[in-house]
């Protein structure tokens, strides 16, 4: 058994990975005619030691404003990631009512992140190695291969303030608008990312207090 590498992820130069940013040229993200806007969350690079087991640049996409459970993405074509189960996505609701539309766009400021190897988990933008569950253990199985998926990283809503630089979402009041002012996962939650290299399926899930 090869143990996972424990890295603390923090904002800073020196690596190839980043959070936020515009969708890069050559990368196509899915769009739908029902309310399920996909946000581009950045890229994790195998050129960084924290992610050197990934087979390619992993461009992170997830409908973080929906009430997702396990959201699976097929990276068989890493430049054109696709939702694995569109029918399930169609039935996923959200907590924002009419604020969220099928063409809602939320773009976060491109923010470089770098991994620092540590022996114990410490709070920052995120961590690799082992998930620190907010609620309960929930290691997903790949829906394609049936294998347990490998933990990529955990990203937190705390310890950073990555702003929204562009959005067409018009919230009903200042309280709701605050959810579209900076990168967050259900306000104060954590985003957990898993990947199965053989099937090239990723899983995204959110837990919060």
Per-residue pLDDT reduced to its tens digit, 172-183: 888 888 899 999
Averaged pLDDT of the chain: 94
> What pLDDT is stored for residue 45 in this prediction?
98
Label the pairing between strands 18-19 and 58-62.
Answer: unpaired
Task: Pull the structure tokens for residue 200.
Answer: 């090239």
Q: Which of 104, 107, 89 is nearest to 37 (CA)?
A: 104
> What pLDDT is stored for residue 121 in this prediction?
66
**Which whole number is the average pLDDT over 174-196?**
94
What is the pLDDT confidence band of residue 97, given thresholds at 50, 70 and 90? Answer: confident
115-139 residue pLDDT tens: 999 877 666 899 999 999 999 999 9
Determine the Cα–Cα distance for residues 128 and 154; give it in Å rounded to an integer. 6
SS3 string of 163-180? EEEEECCCCCCHHHHHHH
37-84 residue pLDDT tens: 999 999 999 999 999 999 999 999 999 999 999 999 999 999 999 999
Main-chain phi, psi angles of 107, to 5 degrees: -115, 125
Residue 106: enclosing H or E segment and its boundaries?
strand 106-108
């Amino acid at each position: 058994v090869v143990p996972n590498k424990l890295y603390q992820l923090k904002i800073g130069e020196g690596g190839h990975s980043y959070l936020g940013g515009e969708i890069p040229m050559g990368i196509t993200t899915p769009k739908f005619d029902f309310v399920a806007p996909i946000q581009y969350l950045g890229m994790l690079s195998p050129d960084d030691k924290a992610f050197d087991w990934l087979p390619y640049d992993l461009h992170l996409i997830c409908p973080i404003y929906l009430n997702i459970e396990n959201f699976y993405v097929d990276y068989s074509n890493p430049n054109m990631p696709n939702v694995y189960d569109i029918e399930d996505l169609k039935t996923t609701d959200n907590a924002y009512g009419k604020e969220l539309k099928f063409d809602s766009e939320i773009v976060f400021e491109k923010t470089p992140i770098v991994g620092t190897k540590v022996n114990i988990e410490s709070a920052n933008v995120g961590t690799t190695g082992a998930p620190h569950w907010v609620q309960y253990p929930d290691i997903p199985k790949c829906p394609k291969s049936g294998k347990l998926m490998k933990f990529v990283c955990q990203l937190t809503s705390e310890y950073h303030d990555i702003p929204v630089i562009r959005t067409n979402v018009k919230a009903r009041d200042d309280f709701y608008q605050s959810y579209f002012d900076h990168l967050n996962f259900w306000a104060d939650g954590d985003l957990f990312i898993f990947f199965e290299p053989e099937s090239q399926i990723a899983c995204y899930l959110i837990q919060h207090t």
